[in-house]
């Protein structure tokens, strides 16, 4: 076991601190924390399950105002910041998250100028503050880092996400109580500098970590890094839970712990790509084709936003060889299918109202309204078939914005989402 923090620049994340077996043994030292974790969840179990049942019954049956909830995370590109901002604006996104590591002082100075450029383009910036093991061992360093960030960026950034994916030991935190010690000075300093905090930045399907944290800390917005890449398509189930059920449960856990409805943000999700080698943040099954990544991006966002339980959602990230919307391995950047899929999605559903999910045994069909026009977003989980809409079809737009010919109100629905505009 080593506590040395080792960064992987190809995937923008740390290397693991030990083997899975070694990490498992180390967790035995934190047994008291798991007892408290269980007790906190036990106290909240009944109200959470009651709320979840209510949310699940109404999901996709009630209107939801979509508004402008779309975000994409970015990282400054050496000397190509103008191109980066231009690509971000082309997607239609006007909200972004930038990561700032506690150990990289140079990144702070780089981000100052970069954020100025973003604000000139009216892009709202949120900062995600990354920790490592030294920040737990030497809390004074972490507090000094927070004070510098809040004092420098408090007037130009809207929100600050405190900590990052801390429920993965490679990010330097072994127990939720250690994360609490990182958040507490942030709460004090946020009041001092008048900034708003997001948290607890839990990654993946580990909602049991919310109750003990929300008992002690108030976050202005509740965040989750809700990846579902390990199970592939967003409709596939993990322990019986697909994306729709997960967002309903997440919202139920948050509201059950708070006692009142709270705003929930998904501040990170993506699918890593096959064939990208050392640039992929995962190995084996989680990696998908570029076509699948584009399909899943649209399906995940529609499922999450139409539920009514997610206020804002961010893709990680715009430019990255192993998972980004843009591949920057060559001098000339290549926009992937997922870039055009997000651009098309935003252009169509931004400012719309989700009305209801249309019953179908084979297809997923979500009905929206925008400026008195109705359209459906539809796809198949697997395979394809011809679906006849009961109303006259005006036109059909493909996942990436191309027009698709159809006749007799019949649309070939497949795994790639389509937008069907109805009379």
DSSP 268-298: -----BTT-GGG-SS-STT-B-HHHHHHHHH
Separation of alpha carbons 195 and 207, rounded Å: 26
Judged against a pLDDT cut of 60, whether residue 65 lies above it is answered with: yes
Separation of alpha carbons 61 and 69, rounded Å: 20
Backbone dihedral region for residue 302 (phi beyond 0: left; psi -120 to 50: alpha; all else: beta): alpha
Q: Please report which confidence band the pLDDT of residue 21 belongs to, taking 50, 70 and 90 as the band edges.
A: low
CA distances from 44 to 31, 180, 207, 213, 255 (A): 21, 19, 12, 12, 10
Judged against a pLDDT cut of 90, whether residue 2 lies above it is answered with: no
- C-beta neighbour count of 207 within 10 angstroms: 20
Backbone CA torsion sign across 279, 167, 198, 299: positive
Judged against a pLDDT cut of 60, whether residue 230 lies above it is answered with: yes
For residue 136, which phi and psi values (nearest 5 degrees)?
Answer: -80, -45
Separation of alpha carbons 156 and 119, rounded Å: 8
- As beta bridge partners, residue 161 has 128, 198
Residue 288: its pLDDT value, please? 97
User: For residues 13 and 32, which has the higher predicted lDDT (pLDDT)?
Assistant: 13
- The mean pLDDT of 402-414, rounded to a whole number, is 92
Q: Please report which confidence band the pLDDT of residue 284 belongs to, taking 50, 70 and 90 as the band edges.
A: confident
Pair 71, 312: CB distance under 8 Å:
yes
- Classify 150 as helix, strand or coil: helix
- Residue 107, token pair as written in the block: 């990144």
Residues of the chain with CATH 2.60.40: 354-422
- As beta bridge partners, residue 423 has none
Record the pTM.
Answer: 0.96
Rg (alpha carbons) of the chain, rounded to whole number = 22
Separation of alpha carbons 368 and 264, rounded Å: 22
Judged against a pLDDT cut of 60, whether residue 104 lies above it is answered with: yes
- The mean pLDDT of 217-242, rounded to a whole number, is 95
Residues of the chain with CATH 3.20.20.80: 17-351
- The mean pLDDT of 200-228, rounded to a whole number, is 96
Judged against a pLDDT cut of 60, whether residue 274 lies above it is answered with: yes
Q: Which position has the token pair 């961010």?
A: 314
Residue 176: its pLDDT value, please? 93
User: For residues 174 and 72, which has the higher predicted lDDT (pLDDT)?
Assistant: 72
Q: Please report which confidence band the pLDDT of residue 406 belongs to, taking 50, 70 and 90 as the band edges.
A: confident
Separation of alpha carbons 135 and 1, rounded Å: 18
Q: Assign a CATH topology to domain 17-351.
A: TIM Barrel (3.20.20)
- The mean pLDDT of 112-129, rounded to a whole number, is 95
Which of the residue ranges 15-19, 283-287, 354-358 would you say has the lowest mean pLDDT?
15-19
Which of the residue ranges 15-29, 168-182, 233-247 would you say has the lowest mean pLDDT?
15-29
- C-beta neighbour count of 385 within 10 angstroms: 12
Pair 319, 269: CB distance under 8 Å:
no
Judged against a pLDDT cut of 70, whether residue 224 lies above it is answered with: yes
- Across 267-392, the runs of DSSP E, i.e. the strands, are 312-315, 326-327, 334-335, 353-358, 363-370, 373-380, 385-388
Separation of alpha carbons 387 and 109, rounded Å: 55
Pair 248, 309: CB distance under 8 Å:
yes
Judged against a pLDDT cut of 80, whether residue 33 lies above it is answered with: no
- The mean pLDDT of 51-78, rounded to a whole number, is 95
- Classify 80 as helix, strand or coil: coil
- As beta bridge partners, residue 319 has 326
- The mean pLDDT of 340-366, rounded to a whole number, is 96
Q: What percent of the chain has pLDDT over 70?
A: 96
CA distances from 76 to 88, 112, 285, 347, 407 (A): 12, 10, 30, 25, 47
Pairing of strands 334-335, 264-266: unpaired
Residue 3: its pLDDT value, please? 58
Residue 16: its pLDDT value, please? 84
**For domain 354-422, which architecture applies?**
Sandwich (2.60)
Provide the total of helices (H) and of strands (E) in the chain, helices listed first.
11, 21
Judged against a pLDDT cut of 70, whether residue 26 lies above it is answered with: no
Judged against a pLDDT cut of 90, whether residue 277 lies above it is answered with: yes
Residue 94: its pLDDT value, please? 96
CA distances from 75 to 85, 96, 188 (A): 10, 10, 28
- Classify 341 as helix, strand or coil: helix
Pairing of strands 373-380, 418-422: antiparallel
- Residue 45, token pair as written in the block: 């179990």
Residue 357: closest CA among 228, 226, 235: 235
Separation of alpha carbons 72 and 325, rounded Å: 9
Residue 342: closest CA among 305, 382, 293: 293
Pairing of strands 221-225, 159-162: unpaired
């Amino acid at each position: 076991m080593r506590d040395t923090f080792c960064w992987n620049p190809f995937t923008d994340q740390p290397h693991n601190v030990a083997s899975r077996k070694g990490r498992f043994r180390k967790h035995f030292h934190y047994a008291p924390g798991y007892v408290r974790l269980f007790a906190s969840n036990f106290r909240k179990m009944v109200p959470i399950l009651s709320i979840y049942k209510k949310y699940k019954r109404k999901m996709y049956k009630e209107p939801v105002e979509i508004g402008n909830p779309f975000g994409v995370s970015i990282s400054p590109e050496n000397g190509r910041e103008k191109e980066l901002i231009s690509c971000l604006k082309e997607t239609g996104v006007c909200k972004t998250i930038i990561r700032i590591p506690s150990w990289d002082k140079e990144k702070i100075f780089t981000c100052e100028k970069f954020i100025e450029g973003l604000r000139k383009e009216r892009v709202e910036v949120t900062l995600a503050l990354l920790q490592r093991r030294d920040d737990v061992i030497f809390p004074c360093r972490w507090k000094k880092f927070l004070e510098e960030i809040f004092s420098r960026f408090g007037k130009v950034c809207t929100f600050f996400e405190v900590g990052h994916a801390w429920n993965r030991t490679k990010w330097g935190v072994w127990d939720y109580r250690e994360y609490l010690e990182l958040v507490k000075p942030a709460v004090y300093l946020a009041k001092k500098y008048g900034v708003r905090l997001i948290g607890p930045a839990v990654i993946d399907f580990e909602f049991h970590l919310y109750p003990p944290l929300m008992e002690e800390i108030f976050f202005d917005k509740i965040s989750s890094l809700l990846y579902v890449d390990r199970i592939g398509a967003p409709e596939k189930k993990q322990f019986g839970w697909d994306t729709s059920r997960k967002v309903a449960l997440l919202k139920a856990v948050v509201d059950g712990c708070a006692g009142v409805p709270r705003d929930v943000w998904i501040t990170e999700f993506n699918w890593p790509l096959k064939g990208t080698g050392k640039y992929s943040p995962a190995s084996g099954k989680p990696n998908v084709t570029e076509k699948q990544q584009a399909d899943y991006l649209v399906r995940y966002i529609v499922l999450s936003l139409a539920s009514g339980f997610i206020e804002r959602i961010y893709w990680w990230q715009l430019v990255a060889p192993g998972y980004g919307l843009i591949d920057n391995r060559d001098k000339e950047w290549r926009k992937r299918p997922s870039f055009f899929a997000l651009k098309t999605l935003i252009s169509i559903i931004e400012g719309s109202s989700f009305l209801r999910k249309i019953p179908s045994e084979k297809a997923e069909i979500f009905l929206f309204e925008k400026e008195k026009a109705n359209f459906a977003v539809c796809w198949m989980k697997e395979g394809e078939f011809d679906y006849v809409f009961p109303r006259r079809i005006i036109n059909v737009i493909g996942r990436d914005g191309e027009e698709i010919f159809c006749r007799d109100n019949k649309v070939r629905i497949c795994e790639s989402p389509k937008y069907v505009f109805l009379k």
